[in-house]
Structure 1
Amino acid sequence: MFYKPAEGHGLPHNPFNAIAAPRPIGWISTRGTMGDNLAPYSFFNAVAYVPPQVMFASTAAKPDRGDTKDSVAQIRETGVFCVNMVSLALLDQMNQSSAPFPAGEDEFLHAGIAKAECETIDCPRVAEATASLECRVARIETLLGQSNFLVLGEVTGVHIRPDCLRDGRYLPPDRMVRLGYKDYAVVRDTFELDRPG
Structure 2
Amino acid sequence: MRYDLETLPERIAYKLLAATTVPRPIAWVVTLDREGRRNAAPYSFFNIMGSAPPTVALGIMADPRGLKDTAQNIADMGEFVINLVPERLVGAMNQTAIDAPRGVDELALAGLETLASTHVAPPRIAESPVAYECRLVQMVETGPHQVLVIGRVLAVHIADRFLIDPARAHIDTPALDLVARGFGATYLRAQDSFQLERPTWPLAAPPGG
Provide the TM-score with structure 1 as the length reference. 0.91
Q: Deviations over 1:38-57 (max 9, x none)?
A: 00000000001111110101
CA distance in 2, matches of 1:173, 1:160: 10
2:79 is aligned with what amino acid? Answer: V
Q: Deviations over 1:92-129 (max 9, x none)?
A: 00000000111111110001111111101111111111
SS in 2 for 1:149: strand
CA contact (8 A) 1:173 1:188 kept: no
What is the percentage of aligned positions where both structures have the same residue? 33
Aligned to 1:99: 98
CA distance in 1, matches of 2:16, 2:64: 25
Q: Deviations over 1:52-94 (max 9, x none)?
A: 110101102252xxx2100011111110000000010100000
Higher Cα Rg, which structure: 2
Distance 1:157 1:62, change over 3 A: farther
Aligned to 2:207: none
Superposed CA RMSD in Å reads 1.8
CA contact (8 A) 2:34 2:77 kept: no
1:149 is aligned with what amino acid? Answer: V
Aligned to 2:206: none
Distance 1:62 1:5, change over 3 A: closer
Deviates more, 1:90-99 or 1:26-35: 26-35
CA distance in 2, matches of 1:115, 1:81: 14
Please report how far the alpha carbon of residue 140 of structure 1 lies from its aligned counterpart in structure 2 after TM superposition: 0.3
> 1:150-165 counterparts in 2 under 5 A?
150-165=148-163
> 1:71-150 counterparts in 2 under 5 A?
71-143=70-142, 145-150=143-148
CA contact (8 A) 1:45 1:55 kept: yes
Structure 1 unaligned spans of 5+: none
> 1:1-197 counterparts in 2 under 5 A?
1-8=1-8, 14-34=15-35, 35-61=37-63, 63=65, 67-143=66-142, 145-167=143-165, 168-171=170-173, 172-197=175-200
Deviates more, 1:114-123 or 1:163-172: 163-172
2:60 is aligned with what amino acid? Answer: S
Task: Count how many residue pairs are aligned between Structure 1 and Structure 2.
Answer: 192
2:104 is aligned with what amino acid? Answer: E
Please report how far the alpha carbon of residue 24 of structure 1 lies from its aligned counterpart in structure 2 after TM superposition: 0.1
More strand by share: 1
Please report how far the alpha carbon of residue 170 of structure 1 lies from its aligned counterpart in structure 2 after TM superposition: 4.5
SS in 1 for 2:109: helix
CA distance in 2, matches of 1:62, 1:78: 22
CA distance in 1, matches of 2:64, 2:191: 35
1:81 is aligned with what amino acid? Answer: F
CA distance in 1, matches of 2:134, 2:16: 32
2:24 is aligned with what amino acid? Answer: R
Q: Deviations over 1:130-171 (max 9, x none)?
A: 10000010000011x322100000000110011222242242
Provide the TM-score with structure 2 as the length reference. 0.86
